[in-house]
Amino acid sequence: MKTIEGALIGSGLRFALIASRFNELISSRLLDGAIDVLTRHDVRHQDIEVYRVPGAWEIPLIAKELALTGKYDAIVALGAVIEGDTPHFDYVCAEMSKGLAHVSMEQRVPIGFGVLTCHNLEQALVRAGSKSGNKGCDAAMAALEMANLLARARKAPQMGDN
Sorted by where each starts, the structural domains of the chain and their CATH numbers stand as 15-151 (3.40.50.960)
pLDDT digits (tens, 9 = 90+) for 70-113: 999 999 999 999 998 889 999 999 999 999 999 999 999 999 99
Coil vs helix vs strand at 45 = helix
Q: Please report the pLDDT score of residue 147 as a whole number.
A: 98
d(CA 20, CA 14): 20
Q: What number is the average pLDDT over the span 4-32?
A: 96
Q: Please report the pLDDT score of residue 131 as a whole number.
A: 77
Q: Please report the pLDDT score of residue 99 as a whole number.
A: 98
d(CA 32, CA 154): 31
d(CA 89, CA 62): 20
Q: What number is the average pLDDT over the span 30-46?
A: 98
AA identity, residue 56: A
CA distances from 77 to 40, 107, 157 (A): 19, 15, 32
41 is catalytic: no
Q: Please report the pLDDT score of residue 2 as a whole number.
A: 87
Contacts of 46 (CB under 8 A, 6+ apart): none
d(CA 34, CA 23): 17
Of 41, 88, 102, 119, the active-site residue reads 88
d(CA 111, CA 155): 20
Q: What number is the average pLDDT over the span 11-30?
A: 97
pLDDT digits (tens, 9 = 90+) for 121-162: 999 999 999 877 999 999 999 999 999 999 999 987 765 555
